[in-house]
Chain A
Amino acid sequence: MARRPILGLFQDANYAAEAGDALKRAGVDQGDFDFLTDAPYPEGAFGERHERHRLYVFPFLGALVGLTVGIMLTSMTQMAYPLVQGGKPILSLPPMAVITYESTMLSAIIFTIIGIMFESRLPKLKKGLYDTRITEGYIGVLVNTEEEKLSEVSAILSQAGAVDVVRENQDTARA
């Protein structure tokens, strides 16, 4: 059965939250609707579901990779050109620690960025239903539902206080 998106635009966060409640009561699965805003609202403000993630794994993984690269880079290069300086050991730990620390942190940060992109599902190549009024402060309630339920969902959104309900192929959708 074909599924279509529909977007309700609200000026008030309370109305948007009520629309979410009404959709849940009407049997729309919580995974089938989302709230689009131009600023972060406190988590759970719209009664949205808790998002599970594994972001915290990424920095640790990155740190491990960076640590390994750092140790290999500093130790192997010194072993490759074993020049004794001031009677100090070839594999002198304090200077190795400095570069290893930097490579560890760099890799942890790069992996964190990759993790953030991955968990945010970005870049999003497929363009979904959207309205530029969202970045003007409107709150969008984006619902994906069966084609024959579109009218019912549209009515729910309007009754909850939507100032406009946008469907696909309208001019307001993002170019």
Chain B
Amino acid sequence: MQEGTVLPAQQVNRDLLRSILDPPGWFWPVVALLGLIVLVAFGAAGYMINRGLGVTGMNRPVMWAFFLTNFVFWIGISHAGVMLSAILRLSKAEWRRPATRAAEVLTVFSLMTAVLMPLIHTGRPWRTIYWIYTAPFVPYDFARGIWPNVRSPLVWDPSAIFTYLTSSVLFVMVALLPDMAVLRDRTTGIPHRIYGMLAMGWEGNSRQWKFQIIAGILLSALILPVFVSVHSIVSWDFSMTVSVKSWHSTIFAPYFVIGAVHSGVSAVAFVLILLRQVYGWQNYIRHEHIDGLARLLMFVATAWFYFFFMEVIFGFYGREADEIALRSFQFTESPWNIWMMIFVGSTYFLPMAIWLVRPARRNLWIMSIACISVNIGMWLERFLIIIPGLARKQMFTFDWGTFRPSPVEIIIIFATFALVTMLMLLFSRVLPLIPLYDIKEGDILKTEIQIGRRTVPATFRED
């Protein structure tokens, strides 16, 4: 699978640094619009903090709702990034080259956005300093000898996220060094000095390249187990809760991990399509790359569907009264049953129908629809796990409840999408979202071989 032509290094620099050295005219108006949406959300969050959580739709028994749904959603998106990058690097998949950086950066920004959600959800964000327990030497009321309870998954969660965020940022920074040097050589004045400082004196000698390559492989191998642990631990926020019947399930960890990969890889595919269109990177993000991602997604989606099916069937099979009450709520009561159908259809059946057809996989509009559809579905999945579980948490019907989101919650959720888009755009304004050296390396290794009467493109690969 290799459709691109070999491009000279100057053209690769010119094309891939266009977003930095020659930004398009729409750039700042779009960023301003997104910034405005984010500001409105900050206003909404400020209003909520001032007036209390009563302005949200949360009420007993549904005390975890939109914010935590969104938290799990963005954690899920963050998983694609490094996972995709790490697995493709380790397997030396040639089509990884344009996808890795965007995936890694999406990881960092979606993780940052995810972390905002529980902070807002607390209603008193300033008190969350006590959560930052995993960072050494942050005081946790030493004077009274009080320490966080390490037996609580709500303590495991920040420790896992902190590890994943730190690792992802370092991973991105190391891979950026050679591209910083390219920017250092193409800029003047203050930008030149800043890029020069960030490039740390990179000159591209044999030793530096050797360790850059080893770094990619070694860090990938180290981050993969962290990636698996993070979403497992996020799932344990729910599944370790004995009192909520539908959450207390052993299948949650793998189910959440595969769901995260499903939504995340779809998000990366969509981001790549967007980048191709807005920056004119047709030579770099080609149909073969999107096709490759779609094929990977077919496997991931089916694995996800298997876990989803197991989760539901286990719930029904036990025929326990509270579990049946919950399933009845999810599958028979309106509008939850409609959401359920939309969720399953948009997460699995619609995208699978698209991905099974080769021309559809190579049509960027259709692929965009499939990727957005998966993410709508995956957001609904978390919503339909969290809210119905709490709404039918109690045994007696007079303790049952429901949830209706308030405008404050809707604004904040909507703005998180604007925030991630804005951060991605701002990143693309200062640093390349496609690794230049990776593209150039791919071009160096490209060749053509004669097989019988046919000349086919090929790529050398080192073991």
Contact = CB atoms under 8 A, between A and B. Distances in A.
Interface of A: 13, 34-43, 46, 48, 51, 53, 55, 59, 69, 73-74, 77-78, 80-81, 83, 85, 88, 92, 95-96, 98-99, 101-103, 105-106, 108-110, 112-113, 116-117, 119-128, 130, 132, 134-137, 140, 142, 174-175
B233 A98 contact: yes
Contacts of B441: 39-40
B interface, over-half SS: helix
Contact of B207 (A51, A108, A127): A51
B222 A105 contact: yes
Contacts of A128: 203
Contact of B205 (A13, A95, A142, A174): A142
A38 B182 contact: yes
A92 B215 CA distance: 36
A41 B174 contact: no
B9 A38 contact: yes
A130 B225 CA distance: 40
Contact of A43 (B134, B210, B218): B210
A117 B147 CA distance: 36
- Which are the 7 A-B pairs with shortest beta-carbon distances? A137-B9, A124-B201, A39-B440, A123-B200, A77-B147, A132-B185, A40-B209
A46 B229 CA distance: 42
A106 B162 contact: yes
B169 to A, nearest CB: 10
B363 interface: no
Given A96-B150, A106-B167, A137-B9, A36 B205 contact: yes
Contacts of A110: 166, 170
Contacts of A123: 200-201
Given A51-B206, A69-B136, A105-B225, A135 B13 contact: yes
A101 B211 contact: no
A41 B444 contact: yes
B397 interface: no
30 contacts: A13-B444, A38-B182, A39-B437, A39-B440, A40-B441, A51-B207, A81-B147, A83-B149, A92-B151, A95-B150, A95-B151, A95-B156, A99-B134, A99-B150, A99-B159, A101-B229, A102-B156, A102-B160, A102-B163, A106-B162, A106-B167, A109-B226, A113-B215, A116-B174, A116-B211, A117-B200, A122-B208, A132-B185, A135-B13, A135-B186
B356 interface: no
Nearest to A81: B147
A138 B174 CA distance: 23
A137 B201 contact: no
A104 to B, nearest CB: 9
Nearest to B170: A113
A39 B205 CA distance: 10
Contacts of B182: 38, 135
Contacts of A88: 151
Interface string B203-238: 111111111111100110011011001000100000
A122 B155 CA distance: 36
B440 A109 contact: no
Nearest to B141: A81
Contacts of B145: 80-81
A83 to B, nearest CB: 7
Contacts of B339: none
B12 to A, nearest CB: 8
Contacts of B162: 102, 106
Contacts of A132: 185-186
B178 interface: yes
B142 to A, nearest CB: 9
Nearest to A118: B211
Given A106-B162, A122-B202, A136 B134 contact: no
